[in-house]
Amino acid sequence: MASEFISRLEQEIQNNIENENFGVSELADKVGMSRSNLLRRIQKEEGCSASQFIRRIRLQEAVKLLKSKEKTVSEISYLVGFNSTSYFIKCFREEFGYPPGEYEQHQSNLLTTTETTVKQNILKKLIPYITGLLIVITIFSILIIRQSNESNNNNDKTLAVLPFKNDSSDSTNLYLINGMMEAILNNLQSIKDVKVVSRTSVEKFRNSNMTIPEIAKVLGVKYVVEGSGQKINDQILLSVQLIEANRDKHLWSEQYKRQTADIFSIQMEIAKKIADEIEVIISPEEIEQIELKPTNNMEAYDLYLKGLHFMHNENIPGLKKGISLMKQAVTKDTEFALAYSVMAISYYYLDMFEPGKTYVDSLIYFADKALLLNPKLAVALNAKALYYIRNGNYKQAVEYLEKALQYNPNSATVINTLSDLYTNHLPDTEKYLEYALKGIRLDIASYDSTTASYIYLHLSNALIQTGFVDEAIISINKSLRYNPNNLFSDYVKAYILYAKNKDLNKTQQLLFNTLIKDTTRFDIIQEMGNICYYNEKWSDAAVYFDKFITIRNYLQTQSYIHKNAEIAYVYRKLGRYIDAEKLIIDFKEFAEKDQSTYKNLHWSAYYAYMNNFDKAIKHLQLFAKEENIQIWVPLFTPIDPMFEPIKDTTEFKETMAQIENKFWQNHQRLKAKLEKEDLFSIIN
């Protein structure tokens, strides 16, 4: 039962549930406490930060509204104090393991109320962890990879274009000023020689009181562009300046007073002057992209900017209003490729926000229309890629995304989408790490501490899997600084440190220290069994594996099915032959269906278990031909008890040497590539 203090906090949050600005400071004022004392009290009683506590109450209220079935997901998000539907969906998924649109479906699958209280408590605690566990295993990225507020990029050619200020008392002109800022940002993003952070990263500084040097430090950039403007009748008045942030020195400024018909020439001129001032190289192809007018019809462009303004609200009404305005724009100019592209992408997100509805026909229609008009338009290529993602054709999506990067090498959207594809759908540790690092550099200041903790967790996974041990330690430590209670990061750190010290006993102790923080965590229970297996402590391993198997069977999940051979080996060592037989049969069925990079390694383990050592060696030799394997193979296979009878054979030693040599050769090649692109500077 919640304490009287926590109950009071919950009531205050409920009283202000629709107020998106009601945060930690406001809650502290309501209960008459200092912010620091409130943080300590909540941490002590609830084991989470104050902001996490507030968000949890908001999400619990959202569940109540979902149960009533009277409101849409978008409406509920605003009723519980989220100013962005997409962010609400992300937070809901993190808290409960599925999006709000699938709430009713998941409710129907819950255990009946006749289950024991113990089982209900276990299930309640485990479901979010299972979801998170699967994310850790695949190293997802729903989250699009972003860096923390402590990030520092030493690259001289890094730039942020801050939101322009509307100097007019007429707020209806804001869409035009925002549109000009975004067009200038997009023009600069098309230049490969300069790194321009995304619009989402700079948006949080729209009404900030921070100084330019402070903002630049947060964003990790050397240069900052700021501007202001207004529209008076048919004239645009615009002031723009370029600042070298660390010295707070104004390098260039210009005031423009032009007719609205000259809007494109202003945007092109500003982008070129900024590029000249910071001495970046612009290729002829990039100049062509910058100088390309999206439309010659100013009415169409005005409608486009208004539509874009609504779409940035990231909710269903905003998307639908934006699409309506885009449709009006293309009636004014039937060759307006940019408007068709944005419409296509908007239909993709409508599909995400409205479960059960499909806009896939509109998505592909407008994407193809845009590409027919301009096959080099990055936004159109991205739209076509989203169509293929929507239909599960991920390889085709990659082709369009990589082509989009040719024309907009600074597109955080495209880079983060590629990162996600190479994490979840086309597993490739090398490409995942490359795009994850690029995404961090471009899109770095948009998330809260909890999300940042997971971002660094996934980055550390990508780093350690490709052999960057020291960099992985830096990243996992950042993850834990953002959220010391992130137990995923806690136990991943134990394995990262093993890659450094090769000390099984120390690794086992670190995992045990993590487990005692939450003894219901079945993923950590499995890891304890796993490390005891490698340490050949059969009885200890069996204790943990028994608990793990009990929970896995109860939850009816196939998590860690690839570990069945190890568990069977432990049981056989202890004379539990019937239990072992069932597990090894299940493992064989898994191996027969496995089409991953590791299928021959799994077959090798199976035949080693069955004492068919010739076939075990044969499949290990086949596995040695694979590329982009994870570091855990050369680290753990040589000490795997399963291979004990053949460890000293020439064939096993030669094959393992081949696997290890190939891994480190690939590591060195990747390291040289990443250093050449100055991507490691953002980790430290």
Residue 617 corresponds to which tokens in the numbers above?
Answer: 């060696």
Topology (CATH level 3) of domain 158-291: Rossmann fold (3.40.50)
pLDDT at 120: 42
- Tell me whether the CATH fold assigned to 158-291 matches the one assigned to 448-673: no
Q: Which residue, 68, 34, 70, 69, is CA-closest to 50? A: 34
Task: Judge whether residue 49 has pLDDT over 80.
Answer: no
Q: Which residue, 555, 556, 576, is CA-closest to 567? A: 576
Task: Judge whether residue 131 has pLDDT over 70.
Answer: no
Architecture of the domain defined by 4-110? Orthogonal Bundle (1.10)
C-alpha–C-alpha distance, residues 361 and 354, integer Å = 15
Q: Is residue 305 within 8 Å of residue 175, measured between CB atoms?
A: yes
Render pLDDT for 263-279 as a digit per residue (tens, 0 to 9). 888 888 898 888 888 88
Pairing of strands 158-161, 195-196: parallel
Task: Judge whether residue 108 has pLDDT over 90.
Answer: no
Other CB atoms within 10 A of residue 419 CB: 29
Q: Is residue 166 within 8 Å of residue 173, measured between CB atoms?
A: yes
Tell me what the mean pLDDT of segment 38-53 comes to.
Answer: 78
Q: Where are the domains of the chain?
A: 4-110, 158-291, 448-673
C-alpha–C-alpha distance, residues 292 and 63, integer Å = 48
pLDDT band for 45, please (50, 70, 90 cuts).
confident
0.95 exceeded by pTM: no
**CB neighbour list of residue 389: distance below 8 Å, 6 or more residues apart:** 397, 417, 421
Please give, one letter per residue, the 3-state secondary structure of 379-393: HHHHHHHHHHHHCCC
Q: Which residue, 258, 228, 212, is CA-closest to 168? A: 228
Residue 160 has phi, psi (to 5 degrees) of: -130, 135
Task: Judge whether residue 395 has pLDDT over 70.
Answer: yes
Residue 205 to residues 81, 202, 497: CA-CA distances in angstroms?
20, 6, 38
Residue 592 to residues 161, 447, 509, 557, 602: CA-CA distances in angstroms?
53, 42, 35, 19, 10
CA end-to-end distance (rounded Å), the chain: 44
Class level of CATH domain 448-673: mainly alpha
**CB neighbour list of residue 507: distance below 8 Å, 6 or more residues apart:** 494, 495, 497, 498, 531
